[in-house]
Amino acid sequence: MAHYQTFQQHNQTDLAGLFVYPADIVPLFIPLLLFILFAIVMMGTYFSQRRLTTKGDFLSSFVTASFFVAVVASVMTLVDGLINLLTLSITYGVFIISVMFLLFSEDKV
């Protein structure tokens, strides 16, 4: 019979334990959480721009979302065992590449 680890056996009783426990059990939990945050922020900023100016800028929304996720991933490094170096590197890489695309894009206003 398989022995499954419960939350009480994980020995995390603080608020950080609510995020560390699923990250230990399911390794894709934190990258999926960051992707969901990225999608929410990107769609929110894009459709807000489109509503206010009748024209949405996808690239600036992409940069805004990648900056937000990079900051959230940096804060996640404060909790031991929450985010790994590969996920943090990918997050920073996406942010740097999106800024480069924005800087070198032809659609200058």
Q: Tens digit of pLDDT for each residue in 23-42?
A: 888 889 999 999 999 999 99
Band of residue 106 on the pLDDT scale cut at 50, 70, 90: confident
User: Three-state SS string across 46-92, please?
Assistant: HHHHHHHHCCCCHHHHHHHHHHHHHHHHHHHCCCCCCCCHHHHHHHH
Flag whether the pTM goes above 0.85.
no
Segments making up each domain of the chain, as ranges: 17-103
